[in-house]
Amino acid sequence: MLDYKTKLELLVLGVRAPLTPLRRGGGGPVGGIGFAVKDSIVSAPAVQSFAKLSPYKLVEREDGFWLYKGEEKIGKVKLPSAKYYEHKIKGLSAGRYVALDGVNALVTAATRRCIHVETGKKCVFCVIEENVPENQILDKEPEDIAEAVKVAYEEDRSRHLTLTTGTPNLIDKGALRYAEIAKRIRAEIDIPIHAQIEPVSREYLELLYSSGVDTIGIHVETFDDRIRKAVVPGKPEIEEYLKSWENAVEVFGEWNVSSWILVGLGESVESVVRGFRAMAERGVYPYIAPYRPPPNSAEKTDLEHVLNVYGALKSLKGEYKIKLKFKAGCPRCTGCSAILELLS
């Protein structure tokens, strides 16, 4: 496994590679190349301008690709294959319906519309309504998602599925749509399913679980009240996340609930530590990840700050018995965070 500092450098500085990202849009970080090296999975920014200056590069040799830092050989790289992209659904590549991220993570945005964008309260890091390719479907039908997932899973049964969405309304926040999709997928195949959603009432969490969702992500994004209104102006206060996490753990079980905290948006180190503790104390997997600026952005995340945050988290390593094996979703993929490498 990579040491956590090396992985953080890859996540922040990016990688130079003669490859095209398989996942180009939707919710979450985009513009990354996914690969495995030394038993770590990495999703490293590759199309952002700062990645062109990265000391890390993927070099193709006769026996495959290798990761280098300058002239130092780090290790042989395993790249994902996505032959299922060749499958057509209503004339479009199956990859338009369900993309491959990291190495074996399938990802789909049920809808790329979001009420926070419509009301002028878009999260500063979100690109879910941007970079929509020609003929991209903004609202995907459950049967089309299920078809794409089935083809992708039959190609590689180590894969798991993450359902993302823009927040369509402020009541169920996408839970009803997720439930419909999960039921349709479960009728076809038995793939591990993860859903990401804002805090919702317990009835919707129970609906998701009964519909076949295995794990859930309720992402607080930042625990720093100083910047929260600027970073996620449309999302609930932290207290709602705490309540929703507790309900979700009761429904899905300990360590089957996760939450992202992004590092690099102006937050204090102390706020990340506080957020980590709040999650770990409740049986919520703390997925702490460097902020990845979107493609075509002039932004760049401060590596020193990210390393300082992880250094502070390292001191908590022995305090909590966090279960590091996650059935589906970001904590199983592990590509955008170095928490697995830090805590292992």
Distance CA 315, CA 90 (A): 52
Q: For residue 54, what are the CA distances in angstroms to 12, 28, 68, 239?
A: 9, 22, 11, 39
Query: Is residue 191 a contact partner of residue 153, using CB atoms and an 8 Å limit?
Result: yes
Q: Decide: pTM greater than 0.85.
A: yes
Q: pLDDT value at position 138?
A: 84
The Cβ of residue 124 has, within 10 Å, a number of other Cβ atoms equal to 15
Give, in order, the Cα–Cα distances in Å from 42 to each of 71, 87, 338. Answer: 20, 26, 9
Running DSSP on this structure, what letter comes out for residue 154? H
Half-sphere exposure of 332 (CA within 13 A, CB side): 25
Ordered domains of the chain (ranges, CATH):
81-343 (3.20.20.70)
Residue 257 burial by CB count (10 A; 0-12/13-18/19+): exposed, middle or buried?
A: buried
Residue 297's pLDDT is 85
Distance CA 328, CA 341 (A): 18
Separation of alpha carbons 127 and 28, rounded Å: 8
Count, residues in the chain: 344
How much is the pLDDT for 132?
57
Instruction: Give me the amino acid identity at 192.
Output: P
The pair of structure tokens assigned to 88 is 């057509």
Tokens 């049964």: give the residue.
157
| 145, amino acid identity | I
Q: Give CA–CA dist 171/302, Å, rounded.
A: 36
> Which residues of the chain are modeled with pLDDT < 50?
none
pLDDT tens sequence across 41-98: 999 999 999 999 999 999 999 999 999 999 999 999 999 999 999 999 999 999 999 9
Contacts of 292 (CB under 8 A, 6+ apart): 11, 29, 30, 31, 32, 45, 48, 301, 336
- Predicted pLDDT of residue 28: 76
Query: What pLDDT is attached to residue 131?
Result: 57
Q: For position 24, what pLDDT does the model report?
A: 75
User: How many Å apart are CA 136 and CA 12, to the nearest integer?
Assistant: 29
Residue that is written with structure tokens 């980590």 in the block:
276
Cα 123-127-133 angle, rounded to 5 deg = 155
